[in-house]
Homo-oligomer: A and B are copies of this chain.
Amino acid sequence: MKFLAFFGHINIDVKISVPRLPMREESVGVKNVSNEFAGTAGNFAFVAASLGLSFDLYSKVGSLTHNDYINELRRRKINIDHVEIENSMGPICYIPTDGNEQVAYMYQGPMDSWRPSLSFDYNYKYVHLGTGPSDEYQKIAANNEKSRIVFDPGQEIWYLYNKDKIIDIMSRSYISMFNKNEFNYLKSMTGLSEHELNNLSDYIIVTMGSDGASVFHKNNEFHVPAVKSDFIYDTIGAGDSFRAGFYFGIYNNYSINDSVLIGNIVASIAIRRRIIEFNENRNNIIKMFNNMKLKQRV
């Protein structure tokens, strides 16, 4: 049985650095352009592979934009047998930024026509349904009885899900994951109480940035502290590296609560440089985890 199928975006972020964002009908000179290998599944893959985790990526990309990205994933021996590649562009996000404010132009490209399914030939212990097509994710959650479903819609909760769909998927999921804003939106969108929501999945994990994370299970809330980082390069991708650390914990037989702490540790390391440059020794992470547990006991 394989450990994990991870569904999400393999996205290219085109960061366009300008002295200031232009007004309409205006032209500005660009100081720098950088193509970043990003997306929920891509970010996860770089960190998780660096931690030695074994998983299959599920996504769809266009070869006109993603050849280098695909080659980099292959070079790192990340399994992309289930990443569909078509002769087109995207997904790609153009992000003009003046270092202070930014705007984002998100082109889904191949993701718009992605219709993933999970063959019965595949046996995964965990199936992580991240960003991507909600209809197909709903079917995968409904038809899969061998795997533990982890539902993690991210910002797409705002526009790809309605109350019925989200309640259906959550009730079929072992774990549902949200950040604080998404969880608050979920409460107002469904009209359900925290208590009612918590009974839908076995575990609900709500990440809260520098406030740590909460794990809801059987109507108990367990708080997991955040791990402070002495230096922050970029918090984009922090959530994806949290997930890599979380699965690293689960894979190594830590409890859900402890795995969330390991996720926080990994995220605190990942935000110190570009996600693609994550390269932390596994033993160090375990060591940091043990130290934090010791302190909690004192």
- Interface stretch (choices A23-31, A181-189, A222-230): A23-31
A104–B27 touching, CB < 8 Å: yes
- In the complex, what residues of B have CB within 8 A of residue A107's CB? 16, 29-30, 32-33
Whether, in the assembled complex, A298 has its beta carbon less than 8 Å from a beta carbon of chain B, the answer is: no
Closest-by-CB residue of B relative to A100 is: B24
Does any Cβ of B come within 8 Å of A133's Cβ? no
- Check A196 for interface membership: any CB of B closer than 8 A: no
Binding-face segment, A90-98, A243-251, A284-292: A90-98
A14 nearest CB across to chain B (Å): 8
Once the chains bind, are A24 and B94 in contact (CB under 8 Å)? no
Q: Which residues of chain B are within 8 angstroms of A14 by Cβ–Cβ distance?
A: 94
Q: For window 1-25 of chain A, which residues contact chain B by CB distance below 8 Å?
A: 14, 16, 18, 21-25
Interface pair B25/A103, CB less than 8 Å apart: yes
A142 at the binding interface (Cβ < 8 Å): no
Cβ-defined partner of A21 (8 Å) among B24, B29, B33: B24
Q: Are A106 and B27 in contact (CB under 8 A)?
A: yes
Among B23, B25, B29, B101, point to the contact of A106 (Cβ < 8 A).
B29
| Chain A 34-62 interface mask (CB, 8 Å, partner B; 1/0) | 01000000000000000000000000000
Contact status B94-A22, CB under 8 Å: no
Q: Min CB distance, A184 to chain B, in Å? A: 19
Cross-chain contact B30 with A105 (CB below 8 angstroms): yes
Given contacts A33-B92, A96-B94, whether A105 and B18 have CB atoms under 8 Å apart is: yes
Q: Is A101's CB under 8 angstroms from B25's CB?
A: yes
Does A89 have its Cβ within 8 Å of any Cβ on chain B?
A: yes
**A18 to B104 Cα, complex, angstroms:** 11
- 0 or 1 for each of A99-123: is its CB under 8 Å from B? (1 = yes): 0011111111100000000000000
Q: Render A73-89 as a binary contact track against B, CB cut-off 8 A, 1 for contact.
A: 00000000000000001
Q: Which residues of A contact B (CB under 8 A)?
A: 14, 16, 18, 21-30, 32-33, 35, 89-90, 92, 94, 96, 101-109
> Besides the contacts A18-B105, A32-B107, A33-B90, what 9 more A-B pairs have beta carbons closer than 8 Å?
A22-B104, A25-B101, A27-B103, A27-B105, A27-B106, A28-B105, A29-B108, A94-B96, A96-B105
8 A–B contacts, CB within 8 A, in A order: A16-B94, A16-B105, A21-B24, A25-B101, A25-B103, A30-B108, A33-B89, A33-B90
